[in-house]
Amino acid sequence: MSISKRCRDITPFLVMELNEKAEAMEKAGQSVIRMCVGEPDFDTPKCVKRAACRALDQNKTHYTHSLGILELREAIAEDYRKRYGAVVDPANIVVTQGTSPAMFALFAAMLEDGDKVITSDPCYACYDNFITFAGGEAVKVPVDEDDAFQYRVSAIRKALDENEGIKAIMINSPANPTGTLLSAERMRAIAELAERRNLWVVSDEIYHGLVYEGREHSILEYTDKAFVLNGFSKAYAMTGWRLGYLIAPPEYMRVLRNLSQNFFISANTMAQWGGLAALKEAEPDVERMRAIYNKRRVYLIKRLRDMGFDIRHEPTGAFYVLVNTRKPAARFDGSSLALSYDILEKAKVAVTPGIDFGQGAEGFIRLSYATSMENIEEGMNRLAAYIKAQS
């Protein structure tokens, strides 16, 4: 059997492999604390579920416009106006089955074979695969723990000077896996650099709404030469609804519409009506979830520091802590993948190996606090016992 090279080159998503291993252990009767996958443990807000059920009762079960229902696109545009002062035309929004199809369509529309996109190292594990599947190449720009894992504009400039064929700079704020919130000053500087070099900025804003210190900014506050990826999975606890969207420049909308018509038809109809309710009615639910996430964040960071982990810059967004396991007190010199499997086998705690997010995160593990405080407390007790046993 012949498998295409583009599919053979797709690397495993290690966090899902760890999660599947944890699930198998649970089915075998073992107690496992899962702190690996970035999936909210909250139920979807009731107003969203009611809206989707209402749509079903009203027989709104047919295809929608390939860009999504107009009401939802108008609400997205209004949300960006209200939150960021950004002027977005609903005609420049395509609603998708989660942000992954949006990313697939974006890079398919943007990249020719050999074109390059700057991504940070570390970054979300799947970015590089989306880029390479579309025929492109990811150019890695290291971000440093000492600088809170923020892009340095000088490092981006260096990558631009050393590489030909770069079409875009990819940013993610708040970021996965670091929880870093990119400062307004750096975001503005990146936008200005991109405009000077005639590049696009691709901004993944999926963790907007989950910020605990400071304020998130949209790239659309600083430039309109940008694409925005966003969705409902994280802030609204709607992962299984598979609902996202892409805000794109007008010159790309015809081809994005063609891609949607051919490959996706339209996003799930009932989910779209649920998304509309999320934007219009669910802010109190988001505030409640955000407050609980913050309590978990503060507790988790304290426990990790008590174990001897050196968390130099506290993550202020998303629901992750990226932990350096090589310094100062907990010196694990092996691979992060081997360490993660060892923690899973011996401590029965599922964490994500840093190598999943790039070479820049080797020696780190990522812990997600998108689980209950009870689970986090038990997970930290088990991890503390594991570390003690290794010393």
pLDDT at 330: 54
Q: What average pLDDT does this structure show over 250-268?
A: 95
**Which residues share a beta bridge with 203?**
171, 228
Q: What average pLDDT does this structure show over 312-332?
A: 86
pLDDT at 2: 87
pLDDT of 329 higher than 60 = no
Q: Tell me whether the omega of the peptide bond preceding residue 174 falls within 30 degrees of 0, making it cis.
A: yes
pLDDT at 254: 96
Q: What average pLDDT does this structure show over 39-43?
A: 95
The dihedral sign for the CA sequence 112, 115, 118, 122: positive
Residues of each domain in the chain carrying CATH 3.90.1150.10: 5-43+284-390
pLDDT at 334: 79
- pLDDT band per the 50, 70, 90 thresholds, residue 320: very high
Q: Of the given ranges (5-14, 151-160, 353-362, 376-385), which has the lowest mean pLDDT?
A: 5-14
pLDDT of 284 higher than 90 = yes
Residues of each domain in the chain carrying CATH 3.40.640.10: 46-282
- pLDDT band per the 50, 70, 90 thresholds, residue 247: very high
- pLDDT band per the 50, 70, 90 thresholds, residue 331: low
If you ran DSSP here, which 8-state letter would residue 260 be given?
Answer: I
pTM: 0.94
- Token duo for residue 211: 């910020």
pLDDT of 242 higher than 60 = yes
pLDDT of 95 higher than 70 = yes
* Contact partners, residue 353, CB within 8 Å, separation at least 6: 14, 18, 335, 336, 337, 339, 340, 365, 366
pLDDT of 326 higher than 90 = no
pLDDT of 285 higher than 80 = yes
- Average pLDDT of the residues of the chain: 95
Domain 46-282 has CATH 3.40.640.10: yes
Q: What average pLDDT does this structure show over 63-89?
A: 97
Fold exhibited by the domain 5-43+284-390: Aspartate Aminotransferase, domain 1 (3.90.1150)
Measured between its terminal Cα atoms, the distance across the chain in Å is 49
| Separation of alpha carbons 198 and 225, rounded Å | 9
- pLDDT band per the 50, 70, 90 thresholds, residue 5: confident
- Cα distances (Å, whole numbers) of residue 154 to 14, 55, 186, 190, 191: 31, 50, 11, 10, 13
Residue-wise burial string across 198-213, b where 16 or more C-beta atoms lie within 10 A, e elsewhere? ebbbbbbbbbbbbbbe
Q: What average pLDDT does this structure show over 285-299?
A: 98
- pLDDT band per the 50, 70, 90 thresholds, residue 342: very high
**Which residues share a beta bridge with 96?**
244
If you ran DSSP here, which 8-state letter would residue 309 be given?
Answer: B
